[in-house]
Chains A and B, each alone.
Chain A
Amino acid sequence: MLKISVESVEPGAVLAKPIVSDTGITLIAEGVEVSGPIKKRLASMGITEVFVTGKRVPGIPKEEFVANVNASFIKTEGDPRMDAMKRALLAHIEELY
């Protein structure tokens, strides 16, 4: 599931969470394809971002991402909490691809 702006929803993407009004009424159900007309409807409701199913494809290859992280953390090696932060980030990257 990913949260993106309505404008950048790709054709074929479906809602991973329903659109619910302030009073709790479901306006557009989960699983509905975010087609052109649906986008217009969302715009008329003032909704600019939605949850859709699928995984985000990061803009850079995994190896590059990992290499960047390793390079960034060079100065804090051996600091236990910074090492934990780095491990947390690498674990997150592992799940992205």
Chain B
Amino acid sequence: MLDIERVRGKVERTNAIPTIPLVIRKIVKAVENPATSPAAVSRLVSSDPALTAKILKVINAAMYGFVARISSVNQAVVLLGMNVVRALLLGISMFEMMEQTTVGLWKHSLGCAIVARLLAQKKGIFDPEEASVAGLLHDIGKVVLSVQFPKEYQMAVTTARDRSMLLPDAETEIFSMTHAAAGAYFANTWRLPEFVVESIRHHHQPSATKAAPLHTATVHMADTLVKAYNVGFSGDTFVSAVHGYAWEVFDFSEAQMKEIFAEIGDTTAQVDDFFKNPKK
């Protein structure tokens, strides 16, 4: 078992990862500073056209159900706010870094973002864009752990599968913490918005948060639905029971759940499409 402080230290020092492209480092550094203007951020992002295209593509997919609504970084900043955009930039660059090894997790996360947005819209409880961001980043701890401890993380996934355990339990055995805790340390270090940090930390136990219960319950429910449908692969072979608090928020009937699965079905096809045409 790895020492918890050592894991935490490495999770919080992710900015030292040598494989992060320079432009991403610059952007993350700039957006970390609250005084940076939206125009400065969009100038930085736009200095790398390939990155700009990628970011806009993810934003449109995750936030607007693949309908291209946002056509410039500047517009994204205006519509979504700096806080949301910097969370997205960081998340996208983390996923992009490990593109090859974690397509399954990327798909799972994108699926979760889209379904979280759908759930938030259905209930009309809060800003659907916030739900998407929280959904997109909820498993960022898995990315961080596998960047910093590639061998050990792979071992957690295979242990969970072979010993028929829930992934968080296998993670705890190896890292002394789950990906939820690791993700929250990471998000906190980068000073992501509170609702993002909270829904990362508690996405397995939505009743544990006081600060962002609805966001967290939404991510929790979306995560479960997407896992059930096998959109991508989260690293976890098993679905865990939805928490009582999330059922209170989303008291879906069986017929309503069937409708939601039909909508998730459409989403899956779009997510697959998104990864099939990387140049699009």
Contacts and interface: CB of A to CB of B under 8 A. Distances in A.
Interface residues of A, number: 35
Contacts of B255: 88
A75 B238 CA distance: 7
Interface in A81-97: 81-82, 84-89, 91-92, 95-96
B266 A82 contact: no
Interface stretch (B32-40, B142-150, B240-248): B240-248
Given A48-B67, A87-B254, A88-B254, A75 B269 contact: no
A76 B240 contact: yes
B36 to A, nearest CB: 30
B192 to A, nearest CB: 29
B272 interface: yes
A56 to B, nearest CB: 6
Grouping DSSP codes into helix (H, G, I), strand (E, B) and loop, the A interface class, with mixed when no group exceeds half, is: helix
Contacts of B277: 7-8
Interface stretch (B19-27, B127-135, B224-232): B224-232
Contact of A82 (B66, B239, B260, B272): B239
A63 B44 CA distance: 49
A81 B242 contact: yes
A17 to B, nearest CB: 13
B164 to A, nearest CB: 8
B258 A76 contact: no
Contacts of B227: 72
Contacts of B260: 88
A52 to B, nearest CB: 12
B166 interface: yes
Nearest to A75: B238
Given A72-B228, A89-B228, A79 B241 contact: yes
Interface string A42-69: 0000111100000010110000010011
B118 to A, nearest CB: 13
Given A84-B257, A92-B261, A3 B280 contact: no
Contacts of B257: 84-85, 88-89
Interface residues of B, number: 33
Contacts of A25: none
B188 interface: no
Contacts of A87: 254
Contacts of B254: 84-85, 87-88
A20 interface: no
A71 B228 CA distance: 10
B273 A4 contact: yes
A76 B68 contact: no
B262 interface: yes
Which of B255, B258, B277 has the most CB atoms of chain A within a 10 A radius of its CB?
B258
20 contacts: A3-B266, A5-B66, A5-B270, A7-B273, A48-B66, A56-B266, A58-B265, A75-B238, A75-B239, A76-B241, A79-B241, A81-B241, A82-B241, A84-B257, A85-B254, A89-B228, A89-B258, A92-B265, A95-B262, A96-B265
Given A48-B68, A69-B230, A79-B241, 11 more contacts: A2-B269, A4-B269, A48-B67, A71-B237, A75-B240, A76-B239, A81-B247, A82-B242, A84-B254, A89-B229, A89-B257
Nearest 6 A-B pairs (CB), nearest first?
A: A88-B257, A92-B261, A88-B258, A84-B254, A75-B238, A76-B241
Interface of A: 2-5, 7-8, 46-49, 56, 58-59, 65, 68-69, 71-76, 79, 81-82, 84-89, 91-92, 95-96
